[in-house]
């Protein structure tokens, strides 16, 4: 079974197309949950993943692309059978959520 940390590492491959920074370092990923998926076919150990995330703004024109990236990246991992993205607006995203590595990359 994949750990939540391994899933977060995979999410570093997903980028905000406007900012050119991965979603994790941008601070958009608020949480990851995972568990066994008893309804998966085939029945070998597979798991579901729920990603709780936000966007920089509720008017984000790239929202569809961002959600598609998250789904495609995680469903491409063997062993993951189901991905749910839960979009939340609280706590509100601010630039303070950008990681130190992200700040360096953006020159902040």
pLDDT in tens, 22-64: 999 999 999 999 998 888 877 677 899 999 999 999 998 999 9
Looking from the CA of 15 toward its CB, the CA atoms found within 13 Å total 8
The mean-pLDDT minimum among 9-13, 17-21, 43-47, 103-107 falls in 43-47
Q: What is the pLDDT of residue 13?
A: 96
For residues 19 and 5, give the distance between their C-alpha atoms in angstroms, rounded to a whole number: 24
> Over 90: is that where the pLDDT of 19 sits?
no
Phi, psi angles (nearest 5°) of residue 51? -110, 125
- At residue 66 the predicted structure's pLDDT band, cuts being 50, 70 and 90, is very high
* Contact by Cβ (8 Å): 85, 71: yes
* Contact by Cβ (8 Å): 80, 47: yes
Residue ranges and CATH numbers for the domains of the chain are: 4-106 (3.30.300.130)
Question: Which position has the higher pLDDT, 40 or 21?
Answer: 21
Q: What is the pLDDT of residue 8?
A: 96
First and final C-alpha spacing in the chain = 37
């Amino acid at each position: 079974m994949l750990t939540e940390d391994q899933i977060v590492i995979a999410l570093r491959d997903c980028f905000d197309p406007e900012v050119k920074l991965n979603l994790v370092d941008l601070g958009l990923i608020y949480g990851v949950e995972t568990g066994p998926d008893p309804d998966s076919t085939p029945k070998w150990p597979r798991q579901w993943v729920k990603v709780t995330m936000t966007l920089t703004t509720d008017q984000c024109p790239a929202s569809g692309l961002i959600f598609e990236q998250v789904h495609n990246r995680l469903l491409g991992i063997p062993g993951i059978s189901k991905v749910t993205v839960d979009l939340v607006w609280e706590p509100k995203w601010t630039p303070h959520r950008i990681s130190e590595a992200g700040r360096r990359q953006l020159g902040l």
